[in-house]
């Protein structure tokens, strides 16, 4: 390593000569004198650089490097930020995937341990500085740039000027342009004349605040390492100058350079990866959305809960090298200019995401001929029979704006009951066209994301099919996720437009959800003008419908292109019962395949009359040609569906099919005493009852059968990523009997199921099997499996890591008859000293014990030495949560031993924590943490 130089701002600190900081190897540290060509420096000036370089580690492998990763920090960090990349670049996994990577992590001039130049270096200078360094190093391709914070902008500036060397781009929380936004408050404060010098230079406040953003908090030694180059005010001058050089508007001296980079990256045709901490108060998701507009080919992973220092909050190195192996190694770099003509990367698909290279091998891409979701509606333009019925809206929802209660124009439904509204097929088709035209006139374009925050019913259905007509991508996040979950989901999806009822618009205003706001209901000019302004409403659905109608009648309505099979159609969010809700992307083809699977499995022909008590199926009615009705209930709380409300809905359309969630059916059975003779007659006409979302026991189904005596009862198993997967009837449940888990039947039409065996250490064997009685992760293959997870690249790669299959995350087995049994979630298996155990069999057995309403079996202790603990919700509810009484505990231990499970403890709780969408999935992770605290004698609180 070169001798330590002297700087204009003073000598190297003593710590430079000391042993490196945690995670840094002494062999990585380098210094180099580099001739400067920056305009701020006089000709002949040389600048001293400090950087970390793992070239020695690469040489020790005896392998040629796959390429160079050029890492650029932001403000006020330094090359230490990239230490995990330097360490991971020669790991066994990376070597096996294509060879080591040389990683060079620089300290920008005036930053880290590089020279304090005594000059004010602007963005243009810093891009030139980096070019000077790489030229001095003789760096050749392939090079992948990696940047964080303002280092992202500088690394991209280097990328646009070195296209012949460039093979890819990696970015973590950064920005390249204000993109129409004002500066974040934190940066405004740092730039304020009264604060700037003290906050960034005189004191270490700016550094401390930045370090304090880590989630979780930095270890003291790591925090000290980040602070090491900036101990004195003299050494913090670059920190202050960096902040002062933020180009907030076109009058700023660095605006031209920023604008050049922001425009130039649009022509980078190389692979790109963005890893993001959504809790960043500065570089928030709005900058991610802007970057995706400029680099639409990018793969994205948002680490929920991570903040600005995403490299510290999460492991970003391992996924980065995994991504490099899959997207850069093996031919992506060929020495040509990186630009639109570079054929090594698929072009962007609709919705701002490149088509996945693996999509051709995924199940369903070459399925049956594509029949668009709108085909059935379009075929019934002259049909004046009833298409949709809305019962009386629940409190807090909104009726179909602009249409009076009672039958729709030309409709036949609802005449006998003024308490509901209906619309005919002919009117629905016209309204869909008009609303699509109105949305297009508002500015909605093909591929734009539109968040729909409207309860199921006529309005939502019309909006859904208008989006499909227009080619917009609907974003559906269930209000049952709660405010926090909704915020995470909507910000993550990043819609350009948000359409909602008043309550949703208030939430959008309060929580700053993205998207141009459109009200589902109308505003009365005389009374609600102020409210409209307050909510920031740009238009209302009735206005858009009226505008679209005028365009149609004047023959000025746009002609919409037919849907393309592999365009994005929807982003649907999971329930959030096993962590933050995940966005699941469906293409037009896969959404249509879901429709076709349901139609083929349950013989749902045109003319079916469907009661949609489960929100996802409200959108499928018109696609199936089914007359559909949403019961009078709060769809965000399934337990609000009563037997009378269900029967009223069935009577309104002479229903033949009912689809309701398990929690809804529990309350239907509990309120059956409300039923009148008319209600009973309506339910007697139902031929099919479907319930999905969580397993249903035979006793409950038997009670449902009493209410709908003619109906075949089916409980399909599936998930947001693939619904349905398997199906079983009440008779099938009785035939299967008791076993290890819940029997969910055989695969539905077009679907296949296999098992990836679980090894004793809890890992998964990647070779699928269909052998009987092998416990492992449930694998699914079907034309209607999701296209991908949205902006969750790591999650998506894991889900498809067994080629040709979707990894469900559920654990189970197949029996000798080919029926699937679900034993729980992979995340909930118990890794005991005696091997892997699954929880469901023990839970089902526990729930047969008198006085137990619900049970969960969780693992407590370290993996490999966990013990099983039963947590039970009793009837009547326990007065105090804690150890169960001796008699109940003895009964439960005896019951568990019958299925080979030894309980270390039995705890009673007044109410189980459940996911708030289904009210039926027990949150075992929360219970495990609570049980651990309880048994350790700590203050346990509530799970």
Which is higher by pLDDT, 5 or 937? 937
- In angstroms, rounded to a whole number, what is the distance separating the alpha carbons of residues 390 and 400? 9
| Per-residue pLDDT band at 916 (split at 50, 70, 90) | very low
Looking at the predicted structure, is the pLDDT value of residue 914 above 70? Answer: no
Nearby residues of 698 by Cβ (< 8 Å), 6 or more positions away = 730, 733, 734
Taking residues 189-194, report their average pLDDT.
73
| Per-residue pLDDT band at 174 (split at 50, 70, 90) | very high
CB 932 within 8 A of CB 894: no
pLDDT in tens, 772-787: 999 999 999 999 999 9
Strand partners, 825: 810
**Cβ neighbours of 59 (radius 10 Å):** 13
pLDDT in tens, 415-445: 334 467 899 999 999 999 999 999 999 999 9
For residue 404, what pLDDT is reported?
33
- What pTM does this model have? 0.88
For residue 23, what pLDDT is reported?
94
Looking at the predicted structure, is the pLDDT value of residue 365 above 80? Answer: no
Exposed e or buried b per residue across 117-129, where buried means at least 16 C-beta atoms within 10 angstroms of its C-beta: bebebbbbbbbbb
Domain 6-345 CATH assignment equals 3.30.365.10: no
As a whole-number percent, the residues of the chain with pLDDT over 90 amount to 68
CATH of 742-826, one of 1.10.3720.10, 2.30.38.10, 3.10.20.90, 3.40.1190.20: 2.30.38.10
Looking at the predicted structure, is the pLDDT value of residue 110 above 90? Answer: yes
- In angstroms, rounded to a whole number, what is the distance separating the alpha carbons of residues 278 and 310? 9
Lowest pLDDT segment from 85-94, 285-294, 510-519, 843-852? 843-852
Peptide bond between residue 876 and the one before it cis (omega within 30 degrees of 0):
yes
Looking at the predicted structure, is the pLDDT value of residue 375 above 60? Answer: yes
Q: Given 3-state DSSP classes, what are the helix, strand and coil percentages for the chain, each rounded to the nearest 5?
A: 35, 20, 45
- In angstroms, rounded to a whole number, what is the distance separating the alpha carbons of residues 557 and 180? 30
CATH assignment, 830-935: 3.30.300.30
Lowest pLDDT segment from 180-189, 327-336, 674-683? 327-336
Nearby residues of 138 by Cβ (< 8 Å), 6 or more positions away = none
For residue 576, what pLDDT is reported?
72
pLDDT in tens, 494-524: 999 999 999 999 999 999 999 999 999 988 7
Quote the crossing angle between the two packed helices 662-670 and 698-707, to the nearest 10°. Answer: 60
- In angstroms, rounded to a whole number, what is the distance separating the alpha carbons of residues 572 and 759? 33
Looking at the predicted structure, is the pLDDT value of residue 691 above 80? Answer: yes
Cα–Cα separations (whole angstroms), residue 591 to 140, 359, 473, 474, 719? 46, 16, 12, 12, 14
Both tokens assigned to 703: 């009670």
Nearby residues of 406 by Cβ (< 8 Å), 6 or more positions away = 414, 415, 418, 421, 422
Looking at the predicted structure, is the pLDDT value of residue 59 above 60? Answer: yes
| Per-residue pLDDT band at 616 (split at 50, 70, 90) | low
Q: What is the mean pLDDT of the chain?
A: 87
Output Rg (C-alpha) for the chain, integer angstroms: 30
| Per-residue pLDDT band at 529 (split at 50, 70, 90) | confident
Strands (E), 316-442: 348-349, 353-354, 386-390, 421-424
Largest CA distance in the chain: 98
First to last CA, the chain: 54
Torsion angles phi and psi, residue 240, rounded to 5: -65, -40
- In angstroms, rounded to a whole number, what is the distance separating the alpha carbons of residues 142 and 124? 24
Both tokens assigned to 943: 């799970």
Exposed e or buried b per residue across 345-364, where buried means at least 16 C-beta atoms within 10 angstroms of its C-beta: beebbbbbbbbbeebeebbb
The bridge status of strand 657-660 relative to strand 609-613 is parallel
For residue 398, what pLDDT is reported?
39
Name which of 137, 132, 155 is nearest 46 in CA terms.
Answer: 132
As a whole-number percent, the residues of the chain with pLDDT over 70 amount to 88
For residue 938, what pLDDT is reported?
82
For residue 882, what pLDDT is reported?
86
For residue 921, what pLDDT is reported?
67
pLDDT in tens, 536-587: 999 999 999 999 999 999 999 999 999 999 999 999 998 776 778 899 999 9
**Would you say the CATH fold of 742-826 matches that of 6-345?**
no
For residue 922, what pLDDT is reported?
76
pLDDT in tens, 782-840: 999 999 999 999 999 999 999 999 999 999 999 999 999 999 889 888 888 888 888 88
For residue 248, what pLDDT is reported?
83
Both tokens assigned to 552: 């149609």
Name which of 417, 413, 414, 420 is nearest 392 in CA terms.
Answer: 420
Name which of 16, 35, 79 is nearest 53 in CA terms.
Answer: 79
Looking at the predicted structure, is the pLDDT value of residue 745 above 70? Answer: yes
For residue 15, what pLDDT is reported?
47
- In angstroms, rounded to a whole number, what is the distance separating the alpha carbons of residues 226 and 24? 12
For residue 268, what pLDDT is reported?
96
Looking at the predicted structure, is the pLDDT value of residue 73 above 90? Answer: yes
- Give 907-932 as a DSSP string: EEESS--B-TTTS-SB-HHHHHHHHH
Both tokens assigned to 481: 């996720």
The bridge status of strand 143-147 relative to strand 67-72 is parallel
CB 919 within 8 A of CB 638: yes
- In angstroms, rounded to a whole number, what is the distance separating the alpha carbons of residues 419 and 632? 10
For residue 407, what pLDDT is reported?
33
Lowest pLDDT segment from 106-115, 509-518, 575-584, 672-681? 575-584
- In angstroms, rounded to a whole number, what is the distance separating the alpha carbons of residues 928 and 318? 28
Domain boundaries, the chain: 6-345, 742-826, 830-935
pLDDT in tens, 339-363: 443 333 333 333 334 444 334 334 4
- In angstroms, rounded to a whole number, what is the distance separating the alpha carbons of residues 491 and 481? 14
Which is higher by pLDDT, 309 or 198? 309
Looking at the predicted structure, is the pLDDT value of residue 917 above 60? Answer: no
pLDDT in tens, 857-884: 999 988 888 899 999 998 888 888 889 9
| Sequence-ordered alpha helix ranges (H) in 295-391 | 310-313, 317-327, 375-378
């Amino acid at each position: 390593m070169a001798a330590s130089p002297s700087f204009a701002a003073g000598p190297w600190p003593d710590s430079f000569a000391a042993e490196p900081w945690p995670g840094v190897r002494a062999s990585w540290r380098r210094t180099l004198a580099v001739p400067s060509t920056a305009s701020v420096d006089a000709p002949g000036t040389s600048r001293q650089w400090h950087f970390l370089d793992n070239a020695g580690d690469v040489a020790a492998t005896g392998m040629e490097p796959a390429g160079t990763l050029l890492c650029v920090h932001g403000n006020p960090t330094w090359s230490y930020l990239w230490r995990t990349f330097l360490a991971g670049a020669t790991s066994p996994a990376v070597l096996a995937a294509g060879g080591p990577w040389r990683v060079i992590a620089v300290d920008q001039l005036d930053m880290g341990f590089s020279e304090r130049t005594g000059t004010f270096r602007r963005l243009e200078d810093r891009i030139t500085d980096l070019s000077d360094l790489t030229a001095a190093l003789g760096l050749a391709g392939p090079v992948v740039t990696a940047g964080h914070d303002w280092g992202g902008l500088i690394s991209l500036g280097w990328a646009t000027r070195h296209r012949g060397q460039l093979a890819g781009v990696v970015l973590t929380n950064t920005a390249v342009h204000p993109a129409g936004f004002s500066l974040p408050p934190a940066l405004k404060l740092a730039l304020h004349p009264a604060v700037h010098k003290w906050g960034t230079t005189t004191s270490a406040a700016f550094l401390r605040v930045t370090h304090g953003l880590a989630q979780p908090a930095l270890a003291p030694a790591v925090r000290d390492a980040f602070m090491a180059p900036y101990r004195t005010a003299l050494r913090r001058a670059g920190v202050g100058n960096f902040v002062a050089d933020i180009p907030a508007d076109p009058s700023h001296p660095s605006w031209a350079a920023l604008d050049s980079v922001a425009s130039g990256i649009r022509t980078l045709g190389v692979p790109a990866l963005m890893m993001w901490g959504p809790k960043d108060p500065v570089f928030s998701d709005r900058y991610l959305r802007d970057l995706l507009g400029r680099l639409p080919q990018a793969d994205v992973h948002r680490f929920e809960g991570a903040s600005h220092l995403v490299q510290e909050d999460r492991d970003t190195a391992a996924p980065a090298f995994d991504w490099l192996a899959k997207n850069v190694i093996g031919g992506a770099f060929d020495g040509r200019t990186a630009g639109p003509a570079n054929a090594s990367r698929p072009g962007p698909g609709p919705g701002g995401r490149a088509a996945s290279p693996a999509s051709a091998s995924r199940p369903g891409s070459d399925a049956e001929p594509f029949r668009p979701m709108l085909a059935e509606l379009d075929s019934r333009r002259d049909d004046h029979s009833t298409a949709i019925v809305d019962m009386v809206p629940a409190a807090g929802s909104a009726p179909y704006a602009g249409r009076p209660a009672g039958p729709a124009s030309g409709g036949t439904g609802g005449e006998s009951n003024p308490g509901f509204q209906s619309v005919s097929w002919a009117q629905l088709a016209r309204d869909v066209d008009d609303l699509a035209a109105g949305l297009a006139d508002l500015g909605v374009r093909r591929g734009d994301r539109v968040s729909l925050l409207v309860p199921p019913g006529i309005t939502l259905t019309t909006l859904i099919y208008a989006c499909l007509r227009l080619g917009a991508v609907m974003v559906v996040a269930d209000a049952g996720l709660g405010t926090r979950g909704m915020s995470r989901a909507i910000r993550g999806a990043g819609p350009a437009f948000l359409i909602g009822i008043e309550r949703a618009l208030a939430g959008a205003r309060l929580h700053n959800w993205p998207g141009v706001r459109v009200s589902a209901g109308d505003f009365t000019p005389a009374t609600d003008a102020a409210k409209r302004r307050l909510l920031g409403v740009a238009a209302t659905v009735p206005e858009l419908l009226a505008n679209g109608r005028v365009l149609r009648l004047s023959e000025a309505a746009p002609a919409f292109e037919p849907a393309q099979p592999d365009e994005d159609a929807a982003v649907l969010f999971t329930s959030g019962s096993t962590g933050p809700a995940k966005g699941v992307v469906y293409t037009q083809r896969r959404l249509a395949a879901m429709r076709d699977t349901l139609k083929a499995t349950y013989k749902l022909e045109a003319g079916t009359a469907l009661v949609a008590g489960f929100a996802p199926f409200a959108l499928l009615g018109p696609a199936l040609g089914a007359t559909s009705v949403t019961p009078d209930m709060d769809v965000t709380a399934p337990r609000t569906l009563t037997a009378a409300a269900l029967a009223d809905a069935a009577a309104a359309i002479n229903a033949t099919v009912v689809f309701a969630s398990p929690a809804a059916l529990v309350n239907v059975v509990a309120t059956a005493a409300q039923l009148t003779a008319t209600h009973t007659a309506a339910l007697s006409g139902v031929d099919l009852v479907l319930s999905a979302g969580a397993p249903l026991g035979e006793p409950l189904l038997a009670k449902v059968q009493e209410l709908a005596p003619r109906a075949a009862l089916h409980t399909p198993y599936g998930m947001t990523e693939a619904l349905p997967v398997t199906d079983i009837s009440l008779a099938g449940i009785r035939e299967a009997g008791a076993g290890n888990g819940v029997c969910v039947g055989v695969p539905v039409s077009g679907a296949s199921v296999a098992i990836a065996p679980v090894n004793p250490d809890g890992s998964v064997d990647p070779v699928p099997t269909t052998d009987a009685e092998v416990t492992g992760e449930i694998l699914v293959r079907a034309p209607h499996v999701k296209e991908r997870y949205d902006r969750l690249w790591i999650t998506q790669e894991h889900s498809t890591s067994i080629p040709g299959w979707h990894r469900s995350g559920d654990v189970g087995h197949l029996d000798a008859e080919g029926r699937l049994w679900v034993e729980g979630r992979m995340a909930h298996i118990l890794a005991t000293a005696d091997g892997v155990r699954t929880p469901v069999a023990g839970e089902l057995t526990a729930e047969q014990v008198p006085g137990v309403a619900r049970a969960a079996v969780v693992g407590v202790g370290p993996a490999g030495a966990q013990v099983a603990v039963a947590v039970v919700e009793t009837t009547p509810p326990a007065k105090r949560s804690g150890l169960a009484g001796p008699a109940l505990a003895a009964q439960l231990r005896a019951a568990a031993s019958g299925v080979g499970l030894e309980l270390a403890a039995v705890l009673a709780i007044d109410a189980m924590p459940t996911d708030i969408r289904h009210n039926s999935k027990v949150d075992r992770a929360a219970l495990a943490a609570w049980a651990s605290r309880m048994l350790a004698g700590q203050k346990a609180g509530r799970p």
